[in-house]
Structure formats: structure tokens, C-alpha cells
Amino acid sequence: MKVTVFGVGYVGLVQAAALAEVGHHVVCVDIDKTKVTRLNDGYIPIYEPGLENVVRDNHRSGRLVFSDEPSVGVAHGEVQFIAVGTPPDESGAADTRHVLSVASTIGALLDRPALVVNKSTVPVGTADRVAQCIDAELKSRGERFAATVISNPEFLKEGSALTDCMKPDRIIIGTDDAAAEATMRELYAPFNRNHEKIIVMDVRSAELTKYAANCMLATKISFMNEIANLAEKLGADVEAVRLGIGSDPRIGYHFIYPGVGYGGSCFPKDVRALISTAKSVGFDADVLKAVEHRNNCQKNTLFSKISNHFNGDLKGKTFALWGLAFKPNTDDMREAPAKVLMEALWQAGARVQAYDPEAMNEAQRIYGARDDLQLCGTKESALNGADALVIATEWQAFRAPDFDVLQEALTEPVIIDGRNLYDPVKLAGLGFDYYSVGRAHASPVRQPVLGLVSRGQMAAI
């Protein structure tokens, strides 16, 4: 089928690549000429495993075309996806300006009936507004045909975006229009294998489903972070609690990892946007407000633990920071807990020696050159002469470090771990002061016999 995708951001590019990969002919349109030129030159603007090859192969074969000309896109697609950004406005509501602008462009150029699909995460009711925008343009040109506007939200995760798109666990199609449903079923047939993944519903429910999914996941995380904080106060171990509750299939093991708060381009923005949508219809979203509040507090966890350990005196101290991206397998630092931490450390007069496997360029772009930030080429070099190691992202490469190297490189054997990567008993045995989230603080055991320090002893420490 012929498909047009407006917006080659994260969602648009991955969606376009996946559709081309299964044989559709896709034209991607973006008003950012530089981005389009670079994509045509084979440069992928985001780090996403597997994406580069799929984009390159399909671009070469001619099934994936990049253009900065909206007219090329509108002329091409039987299906026209809108996948442009919906950043938060000052009030936290999703700003649909770019979505509506694409709608007007489509309306101004369309010369036949078309199916327009909202892929962007948009507030409930946006499909109706998109339809109105297109309709207004068509009427002003005296056209008699109409466009059908439907909702088809995206659920991809950064770091596994292409796989999520190629093997979706559900495909939500929001429309009451039988012809539109049939077209979407045909488009997604290559992805709808093994079992039925398509769920058809009305357009408003589809729009709300996207927010409800992200807000539910954010709620799980904030809830678990709350339990972790409580576990610390009560002398319990949140990792044991996590296993205990996750074994109940009604709760499940996914998305109950405590940590330093959720970040990224979706959860924080979508929680705020749904709070704002609720407010606009006179409803107080109490649970979501609490979820957001807990998350904002949680992002200060690392700093509080550091500050407590050093008795509030961080001036002139240096901290090795492992992990800058908001999660592993991405270079994205949007709303990353590491940013909140670094900024608090700088405010307190400390320096940061940071390392991340992918986000170094992004950190450089955000912070530029400054005396209190050294971006290091390896995780080992970030340790040199630091007063403590702080872990903000659970990259695989951080899970099994050489603790001897750590001990030699740090001026003091102190680790503040925001992702619970290590065993407190083992680290105490190795002589580390080890702070994690929701577990007892492990104080160094000076003459350890490895493996003989029991959890009971730990609790007594």
C-alpha cells in the first residue's frame, strides 16, 4: 500500500521503517529540511537498535522516501499518518499545534478522499479537531469530498522501538468507519500474525487508551517507589517485596522496579497532560497528581542519599556518575533523573565525572563545556579520584564491574546506586559503603570472608 508519514521524529521514523520493511511504499515528510537531507544521506538522527539498517535498506530499495515537500506526501498516500510531536505547553497540556498544522496542510493539498491516521499522542477529542481543520480547508477550496480521521496510537518503547513496532502486542484502531477499519486491517496484516492483535474501538476511547496505558505504568512505578521509600524506613527489603507481590499474576513482575523515578519523553508528559485534560472537564485526577508528585520527589533520592552520607558538605567533592540516559539502550536524556542529580550536585558545589554508553553527545549538547562536568570516555576513567560512584541508569555494562578497580580508583569506597544493581551483602563484604533504593544501607565489613555474611548480619549492620 502507499503510505505517507508526516513527522520523522521517534514515532514517525520507526513506524515508517516498519511499514516499508513489510513491503509498503512509504513517503516521510518533515518540514525540517536539514533532517530530511541528512536522512537522505543515510544519517539516522536517533540511536535506536536495528533502525539504521532497516532505514538504509528500505531507502536504497526505494520503499522509504524522505521529502520536505508536503505536496509529495499528500499526493502519495492512501493512508496519511500524522506523527508529529505534541510537546507540553506551559500548563502541562499537550500542545496539538503541530498536529493541527499538518491537518490544515493535508486539507489544503488533498484532491481526493483520504484516510488520515493520528499516530501522535493527542488529547481526547483531537481527531475531531483534525477532521474540522481538514474540512475547513477542503470547503474553502470548494471540494465536495471529505477525509476520514481515525486514531491509531503507538506503544513503542525507546530502545526496543523497532521490535515493538514489528511485533506489537496490540494494534488499537479508533474508528466507527467500516471502510477505514478495513484499510487499516489490510495495512497491518503483516504485523497481525499468530493471534489477533487488532482492537477496534471508537476514536475517543482509542485516544484515551494511549494515555491510560502510560499513566497506569507510571502509577505502578510511583507506587513501587513509594513502597521502596517506606521499606527503607521500616527496615524491609523492597527487592524481596517486589518478588513477593510480582508473583501474583494480577500484579505481575513488569514495571515494579523501584528506582530514581521515571523519565523519558512519554510518562512525565503524558501524566501531566491527562491531569490537564481531566481539569479541562472539571475533574480532579487525584491519583495522577500523586503519581507525578512521587516521581518528582523520587528524582531527588540520589542527591539526598549523597548529601546524607557526606553530612551535607558537597562543596569541592567529585562524583563519578554512571548513566545519563533516562533508561538503558537509548541516548535520550529527556526528563532523565541524572539531569536532576547533576544539577543539584553543581548547585551544592560538587563536580561530576560522567559516563554513559550512548548519551555522551547528548550530554555535551545539553550542557556544553563547563568546569564542573567532565564527560569521560570509559566507565573506569569516570572513577578516577572521585569521592563516590553514583549510578543513575541500569546499563548492562554497569552490572558486573571489577570492584577492585572501583576501590582503587575511588578516594573512598562509596557507591550510591539508584537502580539496585548489586547485592548489599556482597558489597559490604568487599568493604563498600553501599546505598541503594528501598534496601538497608550496607556498611563496610572490614575483614570479610566472602559469602559468609548473612542477610541476618546485614540487617544488623
> Does residue 221 interact with ligand UDX by CB under 6 A?
yes
Pick the closest to residue 391 from 415, 411, 414 (CA basis).
415
Residue 262 interacting with ligand UDX (CB under 6 A) = yes
C-alpha cell at 263: 523519565
Determine, following the binding rule CB under 6 A, whether residue 367 of this chain makes contact with ligand UDX. no
Strands (E), 92-201: 114-118, 147-151, 171-174, 198-201
Dmax (CA) of the chain: 86
Q: Residue 98 or residue 242: which is nearer to ligand UDX going by CB?
A: 242
Exactly one of 75, 104, 146, 155 binds ligand UDX (CB under 6 A); that residue is: 155
Question: Which one of 38, 76, 129, 157 is in contact with ligand UDX (CB under 6 A)?
Answer: 157
Q: Does 162 bind ligand UDX (CB under 6 A)?
A: no
Task: Look at the block and give the residue holding cell 537498535.
Answer: 49
Note whether 158 binds ligand UDX by CB under 6 A: yes
From candidates 7, 9, 259, 323, binder to ligand UDX by CB under 6 A: 259
Nearest to 389 by CA among 309, 292, 273: 309
Binding residues among 185-214 for ligand UDX as defined by CB under 6 A: 214
Nearer to ligand UDX, 119 or 317 (CB): 119
The answer to the question of residue 156 lying near ligand UDX (CB under 6 A) is yes
Under rule CB under 6 A, residue 263 binds ligand UDX: yes
Nearer to ligand UDX, 317 or 339 (CB): 339
Q: Binding to ligand UDX by residue 257, rule CB under 6 A?
A: yes
Site stretch for ligand UDX (CB under 6 A), options 108-116, 154-162, 285-293, 452-460 = 154-162
Q: Does 255 bind ligand UDX (CB under 6 A)?
A: yes
223 binds ligand UDX (CB under 6 A): no
Q: Quick check: is 133 catalytic?
A: no
Which of the stretches 102-110, 129-137, 250-258, 398-406 binds ligand UDX when contact is defined by CB under 6 A? 250-258
CA–CA separation, 126 and 208 (whole Å): 11
Instruction: Render the burial of 289-299: b for 16+ CB within 10 Å, e for the rest.
Output: eebbebbeebb
DSSP string, 347-403: HTT-EEEEE-SS-HHHHHHHH-SBTTEEE-SSTTGGGTT-SEEEE-S--GGGSS--H
Report strand pairing: 388-391 vs 198-201: unpaired
List the one residue out of 144, 141, 119 whose CA is nearest residue 130: 119
Contacting positions for ligand UDX (CB under 6 A): 154-158, 214, 217, 221, 255-257, 259, 262-264, 266-267, 326-327
Which residues are known catalytic residues? 266
